[in-house]
A and B are shown apart, each in its own frame.
Chain A
């Protein structure tokens, strides 16, 4: 699918609307699902999905190569974070960084991996590792906020995030190779 997406994006750069439509059909559930998970509101999630795909059409050069799904997820997460920012009155220092959109995810090992596999890999993590990862990625909060909300020392939160991500990577690798 990733190879296809790369080819489709090359056609989108040449203003091929059919290629764009094929990309939308293949990836809109990913963008919409992520936006819904982060924002919890169907109408805003649709607005975010629309903004993401309009951006794919208007600035296709932002995607260089690599894992298209991971790239579209980054763009979606960043747009959803913008919405979260506009909704809250958190200080600028409490807001998490946007994920780099011009940087390609070279590793395509997990491109379009089955969502159930990711969910089960995530579920297999100990709660103390899974929770901060989910909060950090889906709720748009910083590790400092996670530490506050879970009453855990900052250093411990960081270490748990790292251990959790490493375990997740290992679990996914096992799943992909077996």
Chain B
């Protein structure tokens, strides 16, 4: 390794420390996370520093603006426990008794008498106003409901995508994951899942994409998998749909946009899985 390359990796290790501390801007963090997933040295450094960062929080427990110990109010626990133990079933909020319920009776007031035609006119006016408001409100309600449903659907999709992404990264960082290094990245097998993590990957020429391939066990023909392009930092992280137990090799090649049914260029990487 040249001095320049060594220095380059020292920079990565410094970035890993900043990432472990949680002080990296969000967009850079993504790049470092992908690198950690693909680089054994940086993964070791991260595993070394992460517990020290975890311990940092313990020092805050003793922090006091004045001199007294930090204490949360007792109401806090009560509030939280109300969420956990809302109302016990069977616990009546109204006292129950076999005795007949006695209601206090207010002295009866003398009723106000309205002429019948005035009552009828008022009822008609109220009915008319109510019908018009109903029609308007109903329209607004339908529109709001549609917007809400759309928003909810988008939020769910985003939350699901984020959860998938986090789960994938946890998989790659898991102690039992098997890593198959290649130039600028690696293929990772974690449980029954397969991932490709690449960094410093050149952007494909215009009209082209990278395509992943998987070789099903017992087959001699590569099956087409996902197409992808690296981000602006040259990082690509791909979760393959094929299951690891059924796959004997993974490859990546450069293909025309839209992907190919069979590799049309020499694969950049071919990784046999044992």
Interface string of A108-119 (1 = CB under 8 A from B): 011011111011
Q: Flag if A115 contacts B61 (CB, 8 Å).
A: yes
A21 to B257, CA, bound (A): 56
Interface size on B, residues (CB 8 A): 56
What chain A residues lie within 8 Å of B52 (beta carbons)? 110, 165-166, 168-169, 172
B13: chain A residues at CB < 8 Å are: 162
Q: Tell which of B33, B54, B73 has the most Cβ of chain A within 10 Å.
A: B54
Within the complex, the shortest CB–CB distance from A41 to chain B, in Å, comes to 10
Main secondary structure of the interface of A (DSSP, over half): helix
Q: Please provide the chain B residues from 80 to 108 with a CB less than 8 Å away from any CB of chain A in the complex.
A: 80-81, 83-85
Q: Is A8 an interface residue (CB 8 A)?
A: no
Residue of A nearest to B61 (CB): A33
Tell me the smallest distance from the CB of A75 to a CB of chain B, in Å: 10
A111 to B83, CA, bound (A): 28
Q: Is A84 an interface residue (CB 8 A)?
A: no
B residues adjacent to A (C-beta < 8 A): 11, 13-29, 33, 47-63, 65, 70-73, 76-77, 79-81, 83-85, 163, 166-167, 169-170, 173, 175
Q: A: which residues have CB within 8 A of B?
A: 17, 20-21, 24, 28-30, 32-34, 36-38, 40, 42, 45-46, 49-50, 53-54, 57, 64, 67, 69-70, 73-74, 76-77, 92-107, 109-110, 112-116, 118-119, 122, 132-133, 135-138, 141-144, 146, 155, 158-159, 161-162, 165-166, 168-169, 172
